[in-house]
Amino acid sequence: MARRMAGRALALVAGVLLLAGCSSTIDPQTAVDAVRFTEQGQLQSIESGDLTGVVRLYADDAVLVRPDGSRLEGGAAIADAYGALMEDPNFALTIEPVAGWASEADDLAVLTSTVNFTTTDPATGEASTLPMRSQTVWHKAPGGSWMIVSAYNVAIAPEPAAAE
C-alpha cells in the first residue's frame, strides 16, 4: 500500500512538473505593451491607406461591434467595411489607452481605449468625430502573432451642458 501511495505521489509530482514545463509565463505588462505596439502599427496602416496592414490583425472569425450596435462577423466583412472607410478622405482614428491586461500564458490580452473616430458626415460633407470607448480582445497562438478576435465599440455620450 505504501508503495502504491508513493507511486501516486510520484505520478502527481511528475504531472505537475510536466504542466509547469509546458506553460510559458511572461510579465503580463510586457504582453500588453506588445499588443499596444501592434495596435500602433495598425493605426500607421490607416494613416498610410494600407488596407492589408489594417485588416491583417483580425482573425478570420473576428467579430467587430460598431457603436450603432451592428456587428461585422469575419475578417472578410471587417475588411470590406474598412475598405469603404478608407475611401473617405476624412477617415481617421486616434486611440488613447485606458487600461489593459494580459494572461501570464502570453495568449490573451484585453485592451480598453478611448477612440476618436472621424468620418465625413453625409448630411454636411464635413468631418465629424465620434468619441468612443473600445474594448478589444486579442489572442496569440503559440509561436503566432497577436490577432484581434473581438472588438466592441460604444459611443461616449456627450457631457450634459452645465447649468448656469
Q: CB under 8 Å to 119, separation ≥6 — which residues?
A: 85, 88, 90, 91, 127, 128, 130
Q: Is residue 161 included in any domain, yes or no?
A: no
Q: Is residue 39 included in any domain, yes or no?
A: yes
Q: Which three cell numbers stand for residue 36?
A: 499596444
Q: Is residue 91 included in any domain, yes or no?
A: yes
Global pTM? 0.78
Q: Is residue 118 included in any domain, yes or no?
A: yes
**What CATH number corresponds to the domain at position 75?**
3.10.450.50
Domain extent, residue 75, equals: 26-155
Q: Is residue 162 included in any domain, yes or no?
A: no
Please write the tens of the pLDDT for every residue from 9-62. Answer: 334 433 333 333 445 577 899 999 999 999 999 999 999 999 999 999 999 999
Q: Which three cell numbers stand for residue 134?
A: 473600445
Please write the tens of the pLDDT for every residue from 131-152. Answer: 999 999 999 988 899 999 999 9
**What is the total count of domains within the chain?**
1
Residue where the block lists cell 499588443:
35
